[in-house]
Structure 1
Amino acid sequence: MAIKNQRLTGILLAVAALLFIPFIAMQFTNEVNWTLFDFVVAGVLLFGTGLLIELVLRMATTVKYRIALCAVILVALLLIWVELAVGIFGSPIAGS
């Protein structure tokens, strides 16, 4: 049980550390302009990705299967993040 809590704590700390980067950047430049909504969406995406990867690591039986599923999850995160940032696909979630 303690390992499960350590992993969850690690995921939360990693998400907080990643969200801290744009927060600090906003203090020094006007080029980073995130709203509270941006931080919430990024936090949900990052935390959800961390939880999905944790689920894969617990459920997948072979190393190849784990790597493949984690790669798919990370590619999906990257595509969603890029779409929200610049709208490369022109979908409604990007505001296009």
Structure 2
Amino acid sequence: MKITRLRALLLTAAFILLLPLIGMIFTSEVDWGLPDFIIMGVLLFGTAFIIDLIFKKVRTTEKRIIYAAVVLGILFLVWAELAVGIIGSPFAGS
């Protein structure tokens, strides 16, 4: 069975999304609700689709790396903002 790039990206996103679920089993410090899983799922799977699109459309390796790094940087900024509110937007819950 050949694993395509998109399938590998989606499996990675699913694995990352499983980490808080497993953490909730072993500790009470991880407290995610259904909305948290939905939002993070949209972020992770959306990022996977965008990175796959970048790799399909962009020809040069340097540009692929730059564009993918920008997308991952945006993902991490949104994630940090939703988690702890580094920018102080209304999305952080403050």
TM over 0.5: yes
Report percent identity of matched pairs: 51
Alignment of 1:30-41 (within 5 A): 30-41=28-39
Greater length-normalized contact order (CA 8 Å, ≥ 6 residues apart): 2
Residue of structure 2 aligned with 1:75, choices 73, 76, 80: 73
Deviation of residue 93 (structure 1)?
A: 1.1
**Cα RMSD after superposing both structures:** 1.7
Structure 1 segments (4+ residues) deviating >4 Å: none
Structure 1: gaps (5+ residues)? none
Deviations 1:17-50 (A, max 9, x none): 1111110110111100000110111110000001
Structure-2 separation of matches of 1:8 and 1:66:
15
Deviation of residue 16 (structure 1)?
A: 1.6
- Structure-2-length-normalised TM-score: 0.91
User: What count of residue pairs does the alignment treat as equivalent?
Assistant: 94
What is the aligned partner in structure 2 of residue 47 from structure 1?
Answer: 45
Structure-1 separation of matches of 2:59 and 2:5:
19
Structure-2 separation of matches of 1:12 and 1:56:
15
- Structure-1-length-normalised TM-score: 0.89
